[in-house]
Amino acid sequence: MTSSWADRRPVATRVSAAEAVFTDLRQAIESGDLPVGERLPSEAALGERYAVSRSVVREALRSCTALGLTETRTGRGTFVVSSTASHDLKVGEYTARELMEARPHIEIPAAGWAAERRSAEDLRQLTELTQAMAAESNQTDWVALDGQFHLAITRASGNRVFQNALVNIRNSLTAQSATLNLATGRMRRSNEEHERIVEAISSGDRQAAERAMADHLDAVQVAVRSLTH
């Protein structure tokens, strides 16, 4: 283990625990303090270093892996494999590029149909989800709500093809959302974008709903590119 990094204590900042761990690890890898080929300390050791739980460490390591900086090898641990972020996030079964190419064909029309077909119960659920996200400060819990929100829109569309398509990519969407929140702090902006989508669906304006969803997906794509370029 590189002594300079191991001996240096992380600086406390006003961010979530997982974000602080992720930021410190990423900076150490990109600066060369943790060189390519280095095996990271165990989750327990990292938890002790940062005074956080193993689940927080695990969340940060997942984001490092999504960026292509680290790789976990069964029975051997987690190793640094690159000092620069990949040009495409690895998020579960799919990549960020694959998600961003597919999502507009699923979620934009789904939002439009939801504006025309949504029921009172659909609107209640969407409103409750946006309120819960606005009040949520825990990133892991917020990401779970985010997944429920996007799935609820496809249900409100009344089209099971859209719904099943989103279910298929849901795990990758969750992984991407978690990484973006750790690396770019998009929770507040996403909340605002979600609220505009729900307002458009509630108004029954199909074009406005499609436009609001398109704006949201464009913002997500910009955030992804900021990590990989």
What domain range includes position 223? 96-227
Determine contact, residues 91/172, Cβ cutoff 8 Å.
yes
**pLDDT band at 117, cuts 50/70/90?**
very high
Q: Which position has the higher pLDDT, 183 or 121?
A: 121
Looking up residue 168, the CATH number of its domain turns out to be 1.20.120.530
Same domain, 45 and 116: no
**Averaged pLDDT, 26-42:** 94
Please give the tally of structural domains in the chain.
2
CA distance 50 to 6: 11
Return the higher-pLDDT residue of 184 and 219. Answer: 219
Above pLDDT 90, what percent of the chain? 75
> pLDDT value at position 13?
44
Give domain status of residue 88, yes or no: no
Does 135 lie in the same domain as 54? no
Please state the rounded mean pLDDT for residues 158-173.
Answer: 96
223 and 147, same domain (yes or no) = yes
